[in-house]
């Protein structure tokens, strides 16, 4: 399979967003890190990372804390080599407290289609388990599961 590379079209940007969602829903830090350049720079909340090794360490910590993680991403805007997304994910901590985290990300890609910069802003909303909206087995979101707009998020 060839990598989706800039310049982006509506179709290729939408595909890129879904591939990113699928990767993150795998909760496999090594696999996810391969979508980023070797020297990729991130800002995630107040944490800054540089390079794949730091990305793997960050994601390993993240998914050790954010249990039963399920994510939905939606394309917001795109141009040449940049994509903006909005997303939400649900997870619980080791005490069983559930959260829905809302965020926006700005992505910049190199010519080969690897993400070289990622800027994320995220807010966590405590929710009751009964208020969860993301119901599918861990892993890839099924194609027939509603997206963010469909869920009113």
- How does pLDDT run across 101-148, given as a tens digit for each residue? 999 999 999 999 999 999 999 999 999 999 999 999 999 999 999 999
Band of residue 3 on the pLDDT scale cut at 50, 70, 90: confident
2 pLDDT exceeds 80? Answer: no
pTM for the full model? Answer: 0.95
Residue 149 lies in a domain: no
DSSP-assigned states of every residue in 32-83: HHTTEEEEEEEEETTEEEESHHHHHHHHHHHHHHSEEEEEEEEEEEEETTEE
Are 76 and 14 within 8 A, CB to CB? no
Residue 34 lies in a domain: yes
Whether residue 3 lies inside any domain: the answer is no
- Beta-ladder partners of 127: 98
> What SS3 class is residue 151?
coil
**Which CATH number is 17's domain given?**
3.10.450.50
Angle at 87 between CA 86 and CA 89, to 5 degrees: 165
- What domain range includes position 53? 10-131
Instruction: Report which DSSP code applies to 142.
Output: P
Query: Does 109 reside within a domain?
Result: yes
Q: What is the pLDDT of residues 7-17, one digit of tens each?
A: 999 999 999 99
Residue 76 has pLDDT above 90, yes or no: yes
Q: Is residue 104 part of a domain?
A: yes
Question: Total domain count for the chain?
Answer: 1
């Amino acid at each position: 399979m060839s990598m989706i590379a800039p310049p982006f079209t509506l179709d290729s940007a939408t595909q890129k967003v879904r591939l990113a969602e699928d990767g993150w829903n795998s909760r496999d830090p090594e696999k996810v890190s391969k979508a980023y350049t070797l020297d990729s720079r991130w800002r995630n909340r107040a944490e800054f990372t540089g390079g794949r090794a730091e990305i793997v360490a960050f994601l390993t910590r993240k998914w050790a804390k954010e249990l039963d993680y399920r994510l939905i991403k939606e394309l917001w805007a795109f141009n040449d080599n940049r994509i903006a997304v909005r997303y939400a994910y649900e997870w619980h901590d080791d005490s069983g407290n559930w959260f829905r985290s809302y965020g926006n990300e700005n992505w910049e890609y190199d010519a080969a289609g690897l993400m070289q910069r990622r800027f994320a802003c995220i807010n966590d909303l405590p929710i009751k388990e009964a208020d969860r909206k993301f119901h599918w087995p861990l892993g890839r979101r099924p194609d027939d599961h509603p997206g963010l707009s469909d869920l009113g998020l």
